[in-house]
Amino acid sequence: MQIDLNDKVAIVTGAGRGVGYEIARTLADEGVVTIVADFRQDLLDGIRDEWEEKGWAGIQVLCDVRDKEQCRAVATMTEERFGRIDVLVNNAGVAGGGPTEAVSEEDWDRNLDINLKGTFLMCQAVIPAMKRQKAGRILNASSFAAIVPSLGSAAYASSKAGVVSLTRVLAGELGPFNVTVNCYAPGMIPTEMNRFAEVDPARQEALLDTLSLRRWGSAVDIANLVCFLSSDLAGYITGSLIDISGGKLATQMPWAAHRDER
């Protein structure tokens, strides 16, 4: 069985770095025309050469997912230039805030605006094309924080829980048009967002102790899932929240199974 994504057209938001970048380059390497969207021009400039050198199809576009007009412009441009929109990956996201009592309104709004409203605006922008095509895949980055939130993550966890509900609503609304909508919940992937691999060693051990597989996730793990969910093989999966956390808190004390190795 092979995943065939050749010539599909995908938009990946927040793809200038981190997990989104890996998703975009993995899709591109699978033959997908990849629209790499980010709100930082410097990040887009940094990856343009790689697309040219590898001969990958697609373009880099500036898009702040908080801005409805920019979201619509990306969708319109994609359809006009490449003929269709097969896949939307709503990866753009931010974290931060702190304890509920102290979290600033600005941090609250930033998390909700980018993580939840940004996802909503990009979905709105691509829905008309996907309905016309009677086909499409929407994949939304949620987080393990939507399943079990960590302390101090009020803004982030709330936004990511909202992404889960939005995903399910959309799955219902778009089912008649053969458009599937799913979200995934990464656990801990060291990136510039969280710098997990740079925190003090004792804290790293405590974090890894929560995982059945007891290792950090990688952006490639998420990219592989996105490839599968984007493919025809995943045509009967919709409205799902897929836990891709290495078995975080799958049992009450996952570290106990690794006791002999430590």
Ligand X SMILES: NC(=O)c1ccc[n+]([C@@H]2O[C@H](COP(=O)([O-])OP(=O)(O)OC[C@H]3O[C@@H](n4cnc5c(N)ncnc54)[C@H](O)[C@@H]3O)[C@@H](O)[C@H]2O)c1
| Chain residues that interact with ligand X, rule: CB under 6 A | 13-14, 16-20, 38-40, 43, 63-66, 91-95, 114, 118, 141, 143, 186, 188-189, 191-194
- Which structure tokens are listed for 44? 């887009």
Out of 21, 156, 184, 236, the active site residue is 156
Please say if 184 is a catalytic residue.
no
Q: Which residues contact 182 (CB under 8 A, 6 or more apart)?
A: 137, 138, 139, 140, 167, 171, 229, 234, 237, 238, 239, 240, 241, 242
Q: What are 98's strand-pairing partners?
A: 153
| 98 secondary structure, DSSP code | B
Our CB check for ligand X shows the closer of 61 and 85 to be: 61
Least distance (Å) between residue 67 CB and ligand X = 8
Our CB check for ligand X shows the closer of 114 and 154 to be: 114
Least distance (Å) between residue 49 CB and ligand X = 17
Least distance (Å) between residue 220 CB and ligand X = 12
Our CB check for ligand X shows the closer of 118 and 254 to be: 118
Q: Which residues contact 17 (CB under 8 A, 6 or more apart)?
A: 38, 43, 191, 192
Least distance (Å) between residue 153 CB and ligand X = 11
Measure the CA angle with vertex 12, ends 129 and 219; round to 5°.
145
Our CB check for ligand X shows the closer of 9 and 95 to be: 95
Give catalytic residues, as residue numbers: 156
